A and B are shown apart, each in its own frame.
Chain A
């Protein structure tokens, strides 16, 4: 098998980006365990799409989010965005990452988040009540998928739902903080401005009431600040992260789930008959329609890929989570949806290792409760014309999903 640039699927093509990607990912996996990419800055860069390597690299504790020696991208100069990035779990390395993750990590493990299941059930119930009142075509993104995480995040943090509009209006500008390449002056000031807005919002919010009146999560973070384990800006950043990392990801995974339920009509019935299937169905949905397609790491040691290819220390590895989740070496008939699949939970949709998704247990609960709520309320979901995905390599979110929910 030859690994040549010419054979690489065009990863910037719009039809690919907003499409289903099954064929392109199949071709990518067939090109080998690690495909070298041309690089402008001299950092060897690899596309990694086999499950064995994606899982191994996700889990290697020595890999970094920033290149060795760096704590933030060079192009991000002093300002609120730089301060915020240095406290952003998904962008930082030890020792800061270890210190911050230790504050919030224990709160988010499955045993502890189980107590928040009620928040999800409640949020789903309210959304479904609104849907039941409607017989026209609804947008499953705006009229359901947004509402579930909105209710959960607001109660988890203790912020009023009336603030949701201003909190999410310009959220997109904040994503510039994740840019893999330098951003221009105008983008930088937009990023600084939205970052300052969030820091100010949460600053005002934490001082709006006494410690005892805050939600258990906010109390945990503020107590860590009082104990000098974290700084004030780190505390505000950890609160913002729950909103930032927890909203669009969950919204998108719920939209994906509704689309899959529409495409595979037997699943709603199967769930009604056997609600216990819900755990596995959620894992299989995350495997089959992975919300976040790409994660990046930098190697600090040589890494030998599953086919013997040596990836040198210092290399940048682009981990194709969604392609790995369709790897036939791990999942039989990988391109088929199989709600009884025994190893569905081996997917890489939440990454892995030290940076494994903090919110995975609470995201799972929201997805499970949404599926159970839908199976309870509706007999089938009819997909209507007009759905489309945002053409982003890393995060192809459904932007609209017109459907009709039928009760009988």
Chain B
């Protein structure tokens, strides 16, 4: 937990759709929480794992945050926890808001959302309206019953198109983005297939027109790494290295800084001495004997083929 983390109380649970639950997280003493901009997200600790959720409430309400959580079928644990285990009055540890998807000033906006990707878009619509900028929203999803915020969106008028796949098919992105317009920004959030299709359909727009948000980092989606354990002989600590994260990143998050430079196993800066266990080398600098010997490893890329490694750190 970081010093800037917040302990918030669950003060409301609403159903936004069959599979989406909305949580209102309030400061325990009704004081103001850190402010946020449209597009911001918070990290939420869900038992053992941490998940990111976009803030989608009203920014003027300073003492609480609102998030909308989709129950993922083979979800990575976090959504099931928030759906099934978290009750009114429970406390949750969350990070201060951060924004990787800020709304850049523009003359006009085209918003495209798929499924739960609607969440960061909702406050953007309010902001664009407040700024007096024209906008449109195309919101796709599998079926109406799964799509959150329909009531709120209907109130915003005809610039909203709610387009469930079982009624209207896939979003007609080619037609929507056929004519590039300078001064217009496109904001898109949703599943990878929608983001990829939007990137393709907007390829002829001026550079900088398209802004997207991916919830799951690309690397995680394709990773085949196994989890293993790293014990530090001198520091005396022990760390789990999950798939898709390097040893050096896990150590850095835990406050154990190991110098690094290239990040891909070409420079040797992060070289560490292996005391026990078998490294799985992924660098490009050790020679064949060194690999076989297994005394050194580059912890920015290499992993373990044994369940645990002991490093001289």
Contact = CB atoms under 8 A, between A and B. Distances in A.
A2 B284 CA distance: 42
B211 interface: yes
A36 B210 CA distance: 12
Q: Is the interface of B mostly helix, strand, loop or mixed?
A: loop
Given A109-B285, A312-B207, A55 B263 contact: yes
Chain B CB within 10 A, most for which of A45, A102, A110, A357: A110
A106 B287 contact: yes
Interface of A: 1-3, 32, 34-36, 44-46, 55, 58-59, 61, 98, 101-102, 105-106, 108-112, 302, 304, 306-312, 315, 342-343, 345, 350-354, 356-357, 360-361
Nearest 6 CB-CB pairings of A with B: A109-B268, A356-B262, A308-B211, A36-B207, A2-B105, A44-B207
27 contacts: A1-B102, A34-B208, A36-B208, A45-B207, A46-B207, A59-B262, A105-B284, A109-B271, A109-B285, A304-B212, A306-B100, A307-B101, A308-B187, A310-B199, A310-B211, A310-B212, A311-B207, A312-B199, A312-B207, A343-B257, A345-B257, A352-B264, A353-B262, A353-B264, A356-B266, A357-B267, A360-B261
Given A1-B104, A109-B271, A101 B284 contact: yes
B207 A308 contact: no
Nearest to A45: B207
A354 B264 contact: yes
B127 to A, nearest CB: 13
Given A112-B268, A307-B104, 7 more contacts: A34-B208, A59-B263, A59-B264, A308-B213, A342-B257, A345-B260, A354-B266
Interface string B194-212: 0000010011001110111
Contact of A356 (B203, B211, B267, B296): B267
Q: Is the interface of A mostly helix, strand, loop or mixed?
A: mixed
Given A110-B268, A353-B266, A102 B284 contact: yes
Contacts of B260: 345
Contact of B263 (A106, A343, A353): A353
Contacts of A307: 99-102, 104, 211
Contacts of A36: 206-208
A236 to B, nearest CB: 23
A79 B102 CA distance: 50
A3 B203 contact: no
A32 B211 CA distance: 12
Contact of A111 (B199, B202, B213, B271): B271
A111 B99 CA distance: 40
Given A36-B208, A343-B257, A308 B267 contact: no
Chain A CB within 10 A, most for which of B105, B259, B264: B264
Contacts of A106: 285-287
Contacts of A55: 263
Given A102-B284, A308-B213, A61 B264 contact: yes
A84 B260 CA distance: 31
Interface residues of B, number: 36
Contacts of B263: 55, 58-59, 352-353, 356
A29 B159 CA distance: 34
A58 B214 CA distance: 21
B269 interface: yes
A28 B70 CA distance: 38
Contacts of A354: 262, 264, 266
B150 to A, nearest CB: 25
B207 A111 contact: no
A304 B219 CA distance: 13
A58 B266 CA distance: 12
Interface in B80-127: 99-102, 104-105
Contact of A360 (B105, B199, B211, B267): B267
B192 to A, nearest CB: 11
A202 to B, nearest CB: 25
Contact of B266 (A2, A34, A101, A306): A101
Given A102-B284, A302-B199, A310 B210 contact: yes
A360 B99 CA distance: 34
Chain B CB within 10 A, most for which of A101, A306, A342, A356: A356
Nearest to B120: A308
A111 to B, nearest CB: 6
B39 interface: yes
B39 A308 contact: yes
Nearest to B290: A106
Nearest to A309: B211
B149 to A, nearest CB: 20
Interface in B201-252: 202-203, 206-208, 210-214
B195 to A, nearest CB: 8
A308 B208 CA distance: 10
Contact of B267 (A61, A102, A109): A109
B300 to A, nearest CB: 9
B253 to A, nearest CB: 13
A361 B262 CA distance: 12
B37 to A, nearest CB: 11
A360 B269 CA distance: 9
B287 A110 contact: no
Contacts of A342: 257
Contacts of B105: 1-2
A32 B104 CA distance: 9
A3 B104 contact: yes
Contact of A105 (B206, B266, B296): B266
